[in-house]
Homo-oligomer: A and B are copies of this chain.
Amino acid sequence: MNSSYKKINQQDVDQLIQIAGKENIKFKDDIHEKYSHDELGTAISYPEVVVLATDKFVVQKVMQYAYEETIPVTVRGAGTGLVGGAVPVLGGILLDMTPMNKILELDKTNLTLTVQPGVKLYEIYECVEPEGLFYAPDPGQKLASIGGNISTNAGGMRAIKYGTTREWVRALEVVTPKGELLTFGSKVVKNSTGYGLKDLIIGSEGTLAVIVTATLKLIPKPRFSKSLLVAFENREKAIEASPRLIKDYVLPTAVEFFEKQALGYSEAFFGKTIENDHFNAYLLLSYDANDEEALNRDLAYVEKLVLKEYGALEAFVVDAQSKRSNIWNVRGGFLEAIKASSDFIDECDVVLPRSNISEFFAHVRKVSEEMNVRIPYFGHIGDGNLHIYLCKDNVSDEEWKERVKEGFDRLYSKAFELGGLVSGEHGIGLAKKSYMHKLLGDEQLMLMRGIKQVFDPKYILNPKKIV
């Protein structure tokens, strides 16, 4: 920890102007409100100065200056985070990486895409898919920057089959808090060359180094993809079917779970729902393949399986031609719909072993009833990553604070008891620190703090986050 950070003065601003150019420095009234928060909304703090990062050498010089002067630096991508990870809680410099938004190289021999960190997720798909290539991670928020995705090890819908962002990063070029420019990994497929520094940066939420270039792994794009919407009588039956669907036959790319309530939010706030929205619980399965006939056979088999053996009530094939092709849109809008339903929400993206999800959801209902708090939810049930929302619903700020604390305490305690972890994909940031500390204990925390110290001895990079 460091209690003697320097406050930014005019001289610092002048130096930063020298480094980054006048047009890329925002100071005082020029600082946009968006820089004071992310999508969490409840953590608000303004930076003292904003630097628009235009290239890696600017980042390097900014870090060298900040290190020398002991000024806190917080890195920000698209600002779509949900745990306050990009909020400059101690002021200082905010490094806005969004101007570094170039796709640098699509290498069709080594199947890699090299990008700057400000490139948005949807831009990656748009770049590679027309070439018949595939970047598999599929987090819900397509406007997020790839730098942010890497910093939180974002997961998304297709993690069951394709893993999380971690598995899709071949190399990272970073600037350390001291201002060194280093490359961890390379375009190669395998690497057993010393400690996994690349993997340490992934998921470190901008606390160890600033990502300035990322080289992503690509594969040939599966030619065909279809979904199956399966309706169940109740939550338990849907949840019970999920691990069997993953084990018994071909691996799905996604197994999403939602109940009637989530469709209700979508209808109320977007006017969007699906055909056959009267069932209590749903699994939305996705499969991909290179061979359409084989894919059709797989779907037919799974359809029979869910109806005959897993107690499903109905199963509908969803393809581009079908009337239900909007289902992924509806699913993609759940978070926005829930957000729209309350003045504030706070989120728990707990992750559990598949075997314990049913018990956990029962606990969520119980907490909701006992505390009289609205707690809508849905989840990437195939990978055990649930999204659970506490809604403020116009109670006082003070009451809300207490409710969040009690609600989270009760949810996380149960999750830990059931072998779960604090975060499946959104990270720890500011909002989930205390729960992580509780789960992992002092020894692991000391290891993490030790690592932080190795990278960032003056504790200037994204202070107060994670450790």
Contacts and interface: CB of A to CB of B under 8 A. Distances in A.
B248 A436 contact: no
Contacts of A219: 251
B107 A355 contact: yes
Nearest to A191: B421
Interface string A418-457: 0111111111100000001001110110011011011100
A416 B220 CA distance: 27
A454 B443 contact: no
A424 B248 CA distance: 34
A187 B355 CA distance: 10
Contacts of A355: 107, 109-110
A92 to B, nearest CB: 22
A291 interface: yes
A198 B196 CA distance: 10
Interface in A150-192: 152-155, 159-160, 163-164, 166-167, 176, 180, 182, 184, 186-192
B152 A192 contact: yes
A74 interface: no
A412 to B, nearest CB: 11
Contacts of A467: 194-195
Copies in the complex: 2
Nearest to A420: B188
A189 B294 contact: no
A268 interface: no
B163 A167 contact: yes
Given A163-B167, A353-B110, A454-B447, A428 B193 contact: yes
A190 B111 contact: no
Interface stretch (A13-21, A31-39, A199-207): A199-207
- The residue in A160, A167, A190, A294 that gathers the most chain B C-beta atoms within 10 A of its C-beta is A190
Interface string A220-262: 1000000000000000000000010011111100000000000
A80 interface: no
A163 B217 CA distance: 11
Interface in A380-422: 380, 382-385, 419-422
A384 B193 CA distance: 14
Contacts of A187: 353, 419
Contact of A243 (B109, B190, B444): B109
Interface of A: 107-111, 132-133, 152-155, 159-160, 163-164, 166-167, 176, 180, 182, 184, 186-197, 199-200, 202-204, 208, 219-220, 243, 246-251, 289-291, 293-294, 297-298, 351-355, 380, 382-385, 419-428, 436, 439-441, 443-444, 447-448, 450-451, 453-455, 466-467
